Structure 1
Amino acid sequence: MTDVLDRRALTAKPLSEGAALPLLVEADPAGLSLIDALPELKRLADHHLPVAGGLLFRGFRLNGASAFREFAAGFGHDLLTYEFGSTPRSKVETGVYTSTEYPQHQHIPLHNEQSYTRDWPMKIWFYCEEAAPEGGETPLADSRLVYRDMPEDIRTRFAERELTYVRNFGAGLDVSWTDVFGTDDRAEVEAFCGPRGIECEWKDDGELRTKQRCQAVAAHPKTGEMVWFNQAHLFHVSNLEPEVRSTLLDLVDEHDLPRNVTYGDGSPIEDETLDVVRGVLERRKIAFSWRPGDVAMLDNMLVAHGRAPFKGPRKVRVAMAEAQGSR
Structure 2
Amino acid sequence: MTKPNIKQLSSISRKSVNISSAELIQTSYLQPESSLPLVVQPNFDNLNLAIWTQNNHSWIENKILEHGGILFRGFNVKDVAEFQQFIQALSGKLLEYSYRSTPRNHVSGNIYTSTEYPANHFIPLHNEMSYSRTWPLKIAFFCIKKAEQGGETPIVDSRKVFSRINAKIKENFLKKGVMYVRNYGVGLDLSWQDVFNTNNKLDVETYCHQAGIELEWRDTETSGFSLRTRQVCQAVAQHPQTSEIVWFNQAHLFHISSLDSIVRAQLLSDFSAEDLPRNAYYGDGSVIEDSILDEIREIYWQEAIIFPWQEGDVLLLDNMLSAHGRMPFQGSRKVVVGMAEEYKVSNG
TM-score range, shorter chain: over 0.9
The answer to whether the aligner puts 1:44 opposite 2:59 as a matched pair is yes
Equivalent position SS for 1:313: coil
Distance 1:135 1:265, change over 3 A: same
Aligned 1:273-284 pairs, distance under 5 A:
273-284=292-303
Aligned to 2:344: 325
Distance 1:87 1:289, change over 3 A: same
- Using the TM superposition, give the Cα deviation of residue 167 of structure 1 relative to its aligned residue in structure 2, in angstroms: 0.7
Q: Tell me the alpha carbon deviations over residues 270-318 of structure 1, each in whole angstroms, 9 at most, x when there is no partner.
A: 0011011111111110101100000000000000000000011111000
Aligned to 1:227: 246
Distance 1:292 1:105, change over 3 A: same
- Tell me, in whole angstroms, the C-alpha distance in 1 between the residues paired with 2:79 and 2:206: 36
Aligned to 1:213: 232
Q: Tell me the alpha carbon deviations over residues 176-233 of structure 1, each in whole angstroms, 9 at most, x when there is no partner.
A: 1111112221111000110110111111116111111000001101000000000000
- Using the TM superposition, give the Cα deviation of residue 87 of structure 1 relative to its aligned residue in structure 2, in angstroms: 0.3
Q: Tell me the alpha carbon deviations over residues 150-195 of structure 1, each in whole angstroms, 9 at most, x when there is no partner.
A: 1111111111110100111123111111111122211110001101
Decide whether the 8 Å contact of 2:126 with 2:323 is kept in 1. Answer: yes
Aligned to 1:81: 96
- Using the TM superposition, give the Cα deviation of residue 264 of structure 1 relative to its aligned residue in structure 2, in angstroms: 0.3
- Which of 108, 118, 132 matches 1:103? 118
Equivalent position SS for 1:269: coil
- Tell me, in whole angstroms, the C-alpha distance in 1 between the residues paired with 2:79 and 2:24: 24
Decide whether the 8 Å contact of 1:163 with 1:213 is kept in 2. Answer: yes
- Using the TM superposition, give the Cα deviation of residue 249 of structure 1 relative to its aligned residue in structure 2, in angstroms: 1.0
- Which of 47, 52, 61 matches 2:76? 61
Decide whether the 8 Å contact of 2:143 with 2:335 is kept in 1. Answer: yes
Unmatched tracts of structure 1, length 5 or more: none
The answer to whether the aligner puts 1:166 opposite 2:166 as a matched pair is no
Q: TM-score, normalised by structure 1?
A: 0.97
Greater helix fraction, Structure 1 or Structure 2: 2
Decide whether the 8 Å contact of 1:26 with 1:60 is kept in 2. Answer: yes
- Using the TM superposition, give the Cα deviation of residue 7 of structure 1 relative to its aligned residue in structure 2, in angstroms: 6.2
- Tell me, in whole angstroms, the C-alpha distance in 2 between the residues paired with 1:31 and 1:150: 45
- Using the TM superposition, give the Cα deviation of residue 43 of structure 1 relative to its aligned residue in structure 2, in angstroms: 2.9
- Tell me, in whole angstroms, the C-alpha distance in 2 between the residues paired with 1:41 and 1:278: 37
- Tell me, in whole angstroms, the C-alpha distance in 2 between the residues paired with 1:249 and 1:271: 15
- Tell me, in whole angstroms, the C-alpha distance in 1 between the residues paired with 2:261 and 2:331: 28
Q: What letter corresponds to residue 49 of structure 1 in structure 2?
A: I
- Tell me, in whole angstroms, the C-alpha distance in 1 between the residues paired with 2:58 and 2:27: 12
Equivalent position SS for 1:169: strand
- Tell me, in whole angstroms, the C-alpha distance in 2 between the residues paired with 1:222 and 1:112: 17
Equivalent position SS for 2:185: coil
- Tell me, in whole angstroms, the C-alpha distance in 1 between the residues paired with 2:54 and 2:261: 50
Q: What letter corresponds to residue 116 of structure 2 in structure 1?
A: E
- Which of 308, 313, 322 matches 2:327? 308
Distance 1:244 1:72, change over 3 A: same
Equivalent position SS for 1:292: coil
The answer to whether the aligner puts 1:201 opposite 2:216 as a matched pair is yes
Aligned 1:219-258 pairs, distance under 5 A:
219-258=238-277
Q: What letter corresponds to residue 68 of structure 2 in structure 1?
A: G
Q: What letter corresponds to residue 279 of structure 2 in structure 1?
A: N
- Tell me, in whole angstroms, the C-alpha distance in 2 between the residues paired with 1:276 and 1:168: 27
Distance 1:7 1:275, change over 3 A: closer
Unmatched tracts of structure 2, length 5 or more: 1-17
Aligned to 2:31: 16
Number of aligned residue pairs = 325
The answer to whether the aligner puts 1:259 opposite 2:278 as a matched pair is yes
Q: What letter corresponds to residue 219 of structure 1 in structure 2?
A: Q
- Using the TM superposition, give the Cα deviation of residue 325 of structure 1 relative to its aligned residue in structure 2, in angstroms: 2.1
Decide whether the 8 Å contact of 1:133 with 1:312 is kept in 2. Answer: yes
Q: What letter corresponds to residue 310 of structure 2 in structure 1?
A: R
Distance 1:5 1:46, change over 3 A: farther
- Using the TM superposition, give the Cα deviation of residue 76 of structure 1 relative to its aligned residue in structure 2, in angstroms: 3.0
- Tell me, in whole angstroms, the C-alpha distance in 2 between the residues paired with 1:237 and 1:75: 38
RMSD: 1.3
- Tell me, in whole angstroms, the C-alpha distance in 2 between the residues paired with 1:77 and 1:232: 31
- Tell me, in whole angstroms, the C-alpha distance in 1 between the residues paired with 2:91 and 2:303: 31
- Using the TM superposition, give the Cα deviation of residue 98 of structure 1 relative to its aligned residue in structure 2, in angstroms: 0.2
Equivalent position SS for 2:147: coil
Aligned 1:116-195 pairs, distance under 5 A:
116-195=131-210
Q: Tell me the alpha carbon deviations over residues 48-68 of structure 1, each in whole angstroms, 9 at most, x when there is no partner.
A: 110100000000021211111
- Tell me, in whole angstroms, the C-alpha distance in 1 between the residues paired with 2:288 and 2:37: 32
